Structure 1
Amino acid sequence: MTGRVLAAIAVSWAAGGGVVALAWPRSHSLPWVAWLALAGLVGPFTVGAALLIAGNAGVTAHLSVPCIAGLALGGFAWGSRRRWKQLPVAARTPALVMVTLVLAIGWSAWIAGRTHLGWDGTVVWYQKARILAAGSGTMPTTTLADPTRSWTAPDYPLHVPLAMAWVRLWQPVEDERAMKALPAAWCAAILLLVAAAVLERSGSASWTVAAVMVIASAPRLLIGEGSFTSGYGDGPVAGLLAALIWLLWRSDHAAARAWWPLLAIVAAALAATKQEGSVAVLGAAVVCARYGREWRRICFAGPALALALGWQAWTIGAGASSGMAYEWHGVATSVARLRPIVTAYLSEFANIRTWGVLWPSLTLLAVLQRRTLPGPETGIVLTVSAVSALAFVGSDWPDVSMHLNVTVPRLTGAIVPSIVVACFGAGSSQKQN
């Protein structure tokens, strides 16, 4: 059973590897760590989208799954050939970094195998995955409009449940516990991405090892509701956001168009994960274009935003209830909520029991590296964080403090990989080919 699940995940990574290698600019090298990281983040979205398209075209899972798997393996072979034959040779990854990654990934996988999917992972995402798998990749409109299912947030994007449905279709008998291999794989991709980005930016194996260990040693990131090893969408959001920011930094102004295909794919995957992903894509595009004074750079966000808006419009047309817990309460109420919002964030950052020394360490490092912190990356993280925090002024929860207690830990966790990459990689401002 677990072998089939691992095979499904391996095929999804192969699909992502092919897409990344084919979309990667010809003039830049593609280190294997970065290749694996992006493959693990983009792959589940790729096979999930293919499953959705095939299902809505009337193709049953018995035919679509092997066809998608064959295309994934073929794309991986084609992408591998391009990486080896056409792209510049990448520098070798230091042995110390590889050993650290193996240990960190093994540690996170061990934790994932001993924890559950969590509330959202089980009740929201996995239930949708079961429906999608039963429908060969289709989501019936009757399900979206069913008022008894409104608590499952029917208008949420389908990246995570489609990835789960892909894995479920490989199982001869349903096994919810085996599904934990999927978030474990997402967590592994996050660790690989942090290593690839910091190593490229700093050129230091020591800084890279430290960055990976910071992620792997923070209790909140690996254990509990919304952690990277749970079945929530926060792990994929964190990884895809960090990947998007890193690739935006990676793209030179003179050759930005060469990066648009890969940026568009990563942005689409991010927007298809959660509604917050669409906000992050728009914020990242605007900040990046503003810093570069070239508004054409915002074009990569077009497909992602069109995908997000199209999905929302379709679900509304199908009669789905909104899962967004926000509405405007007036100026007075909004201003009055600013204080509890600030207090909630400060309390979260100071919570040593769940975060360890992560936030004090990152704060100290940011102060020490303040002269070399990348402006666009820092601006994107601050913009996304500010928008997420200010959204609570419109919370429709009876008690906004309860909403903050539930959501703030997950929102802060989603920006940690991006902050770690910015702070630990701040020692270098040179882009590597």
Structure 2
Amino acid sequence: DRFNLIWENGDVNLRVYEMPDAIRRNLVEFTTRSARPYAPPASPHDGSDARWQHQRDAIASFLKAKNGILEMATGTGKTRTALTIADELRQRGLVDTAIVAAYGTDLLDQWHKELVRRTTMPVFRAYERYHEAQSFLNDPEGALLLTSRQALADILPKLRSNAYRKALLICDEVHGMGSPSLVASLSGRLKPFAYRLGLSATPEREYDGDGNRFIEDEIGPVIFEFNLKDAIRKGILCGFDYIELEYEFSDDDRAAIRQAIRRYHAKVRSGDAPAIEALYQDIARIRKLSKEKIPPFSTYVHAHPEVLQRSLIFVETAEYGLLVQDILMDLHIDFHTYYGDDDRINLSRFARGELDCLITCHRISEGIDIRSVNNIVLFASARARLETVQRLGRCLRIDPDHPEKRATVIDFIRVDHENEDDPTGELSADEERRDWFRDLAATRRV
């Protein structure tokens, strides 16, 4: 396989050229009458280099496939791998323009920082306060556009048709490309790109067949995988301890569950049945907002306040966050919230170490690189693995200042759901997630 990869010009580190017949004849003559003038070189054993072999393998997979998704765990170098692919395609003369699409100002700003540092192409931006798309469209050759994925529907129809023949599209957190609005506005718009690269730790959208089909049709299938266990074993991500805090529903929680199920069945009987996913969401929200998680959390952090140092606390709503804030204030923890754009300064303060703890909803589930995060608290976790994996990735990045880092994950497990009417299976979601976390937490570096 290695020989075929090199022979077919698929290795990023070398080129294969056709050899002129005259040189070939001379080499054949030389090798048949001369002994090897040197001993075979020893195989290198550079451990630090070997850790990143997965990036070289991912690059080779994409160069061979030309389109597809690299499913790589958070913190294993997706951005670096994508930029190396872009550079390689440019050097080979296969690409002379590129578009990078991502979601969220924080992640786009992070991409811009890497692009400016690692590419010689002029970088135009089309998101938030940046309105440089037209400058890119005027002369896309040799240039790169960094844009929000929502803006693609407006930008791509204006890109001259001949530019697609040597163009690369990079979609970060590619699972987000399957949202209904993007499926409707971008169907048929992505296929014209000569090269289409998707990046994600969790590319599949659970309960969304249409979104998954769109991603595979327009961008491609998963062509390379490197998961969390692989990364922990190689020492690319740190290991973690898993803390399970048990709770039971209150009477109000149980009444809300029964009401949600009755409401769904009533609509079914009336012939106005919503998708079963609507019931999933209703039950999940009740589970995420249960106030019964607060007492065991308070007890645990009063006994172990160190877990709140360099921590991210994920809650479902800002209102729920207020319940958590009371506990942090009682412990004199230096914290702030990070819910909306007006709080972005707090992310920067946390990254600089000026805050010990950040309370957030969904804002930093994806993509943001803060290596000094030690611990996460999951008051709100979806049954689908996607968001949980993203959040776990926030605390598993290796911190150069603390090479022996071991993270902590605090989770909440409901233990009183037996013998309940649950057509969705949502009420057992905590236990399913617990089993997954236990298995992953047992992974050790080899």
Q: Which structure shows the bigger proportion of residues in strand conformation?
A: 2
Check whether TM > 0.5.
no
Structure-1-length-normalised TM-score: 0.26
Q: Which has the higher contact order (CA 8 A, sep 6+)?
A: 1
Structure-2-length-normalised TM-score: 0.25
Q: Which structure shows the bigger proportion of residues in helix conformation?
A: 1
